Structure formats: C-alpha cells, structure tokens
Copies of this chain bind each other. A is one copy, B any other.
Amino acid sequence: MRTLEWIDTPDGGLVRMVDQTRLPNETIMLDCADLGTLAEAIRKLRIRGAPAIGCAAAQGIALVASRSRAESVPGLVAELQAARDVLAATRPTAVNLFWALERMMARAEALLAAGVERKAFVQALLQEAVAITEDDLERCRRIGKHGAELIPEGANILTHCNAGALATAGYGTALGVIRAAHDAGKRVHVWVDETRPLLQGARLTAWELQQEGIPCTLITDNMAGYLMQQGKVDCVVVGADRIAANGDAANKIGTYAVAVLAHHHSLPFYVAAPFSTVDLALASGQDIPIEERDHDEVALLAHLATQPACPAGVSIYNPAFDPTPSDLIAAIVTEVGVIRPPYRETLAAAAPRG
C-alpha cells in the first residue's frame, strides 16, 4: 500500500490516500479531487508525517493545475499561488510542506519563464510532484540503509509517534531504519510509545510493525523512563518535522522528554529524516514554530472516546511538537549518511546543493 498516490482521471486527476485517522480499525481510501479536501486531509491528520505532508502538498499543486480552467499559463500560475497559500496554512511545524511547495512553485515559475505551453506546463508539474514522491521513497530506503548500521543485534529500540511508511511516501524514516535492520537479519524488538494525544504510535506504528512481522510492544508514553531504568531499552530512533542548522530537531510532542530520558540513561538517541526536513535558515530549535492543536484532542482522547476524559471547562494545553536540543542527539540519519556533531558544520557540509 502506498501512503498516497496520483491517479489520472478524465477531468485531470486526484490524490488517493489511506485515511490514517481510521487506522487500524478500518482501511479507508480517501480520494482528494479538489484542493479543499486535500488541505482538510492534511489539517485533520488523515495524512501526516513531515515527508508525507510534503508529498501531499506537491501533489496538491499538481491537482489544482490538472483541474484548472484558467486558459493561460500566467492565469494558471496565479491559481497555483493561491493554492500554495492554502496548503502552507495547513500545518506550521513540518518544514517539508514548505520545501515541497517551494520546489513546485519554483518549477512553475521556471516553466512560465521558459514560455512552455499550457498542456506541457500541467504535465511537467505533475511529473515534478510524482518525482518528489518517488524521490522521498528512495531517500527513505537510503536512510534505512545508513541507519541500520547503528542498530545492534538483539536491540530493544524505542520509538515515539509514527515515522513509518505512513509518514512518508513509503518505507519510513525511523521505522525505515528499523525495517532495514530487520531485513538485514538483525533480531530487533521495538517499544512503541502510544503517543498521546492522537495515538499515532498505537494506531499506526504498532500496525505497521505488526504487518511486517517485526516484534513490538505497545506502551503508554510515561512508561519509557521505567523501561530505561530497567535496562530494557538499547537505543531510541525517532523522525523529525524540522531540523535547525545546529541539529536541534522538532518532532512530535514528547520526543524531547524521551531524549532527556535517553541522555540520563546514557542511551543513544537517533533522529532519522530526509534532508528536506533540514531548515538551514533556522539557527536553533527555539526558532521552529510549534503548532498548537484543538483541545478536544486531549479532552476527548481523539476520535476514540464517547465521553470527555476531564471535567467540562477545564483549561487544556495541546502543543503538537517539541524541539530537542542537538546535544541530546547522538546522530542524525539522512539519505546522504549518518551525520554526527558538531551539527552546525556537519549538516551544512552534508546538505545537497540547490
């Protein structure tokens, strides 16, 4: 199963994705044939995970292009700029969203400047979106290959949230590392943080690992420290939504706490992410915007509960991500290799050009 897929239709095309809010109880495919449906899917986490959001945004631009009624290429570009603004407003933390939108708009501007005719313009944008998606899958495989070297035989690996196939075009970043270690014949066991409030660990990571036959055990987030105290964790691997120039990495809320716990227990804490996650324009993690989400996600235990879990009217705080300082990160695993401190130098040196 692909996390998302471009489907050609007589009237243009559509973006088909598995609705991740319905997993693991139901596997429902969602067809996004207009920008509003796609933007809502990103906002509601029907598709989530920094690389997957980037792919969805790129395909969203292609979707608008494929269905536009604008007669001229300049008119079409104006429509795409409006679509870009809609998609950019869906979620603030994952930089891959902005990276993919920028890449698509740069392509559109270049095609416009080159005087490409309307049909070829739309075709080229669609190819760009599909290339971003295929490229993401390929990067994940390379991340997995590089990262698998870090995983010892027999390792108990703790992960937080879902940085799996579902969070990317496929294969995954943190789970890509675990998959690659497993596929290389290493015996591994994964502790899966359920990841409140939206339970991406329980719903998505446990499901992916179960499908692959990789041994795993589900825990609540607050059990990770106790497991480390007992010597039951050998390393931590997580994904990232944005990595600053100094290596600070924002990821799902609770990641920072896991990093501190790993540090306290002298366990390596690895971040796995494609370079599209690195934002060299930001000096540190304190500059990464942290999304705050709906309080009902905390109060109602997401879509799972019938009654609120707290008294009516109680004050709630619901940040979706947190930044982890780079001094708690043992290595950042990217498609170009395993990057070690000092990150300010090593990230800049490793960043792909252009």
Task: Please report A residues at the B interface, Cβ cutoff 8 Å.
Answer: 24-25, 160, 191, 193-197, 199, 202-203, 206-207, 210, 215-227, 229, 253-254, 256-257, 260-261, 263-264, 298-299, 301, 304-311, 313-319, 322-323
Given A202-B309, A210-B314, the answer on whether A257 and B322 have CB atoms closer than 8 Å is no
Do residues A219 and B317 form an inter-chain contact, with CB atoms below 8 A? yes
Kindly identify which residue among B222, B225, B257, B306 contacts A196, using a CB–CB cutoff of 8 Å. B222
Residue on B nearest A290 in the bound complex, by CB? B226
Contacts of A298 in B (CB 8 A): 194, 202, 218-220
Do residues A196 and B216 form an inter-chain contact, with CB atoms below 8 A? no
Kindly identify which residue among B215, B257, B310 contacts A202, using a CB–CB cutoff of 8 Å. B310
Do residues A315 and B194 form an inter-chain contact, with CB atoms below 8 A? no
Contacts of A299 in B (CB 8 A): 202, 218
* A323 CA / B229 CA spacing, docked (Å): 9
Given A215-B315, A226-B253, A305-B305, the answer on whether A310 and B221 have CB atoms closer than 8 Å is no
Q: Closest CB-CB distance, A146 to chain B, in whole Å?
A: 28
Do residues B206 and A220 form an inter-chain contact, with CB atoms below 8 A? no
Contacts of A220 in B (CB 8 A): 196-197, 221, 253-254, 298, 318
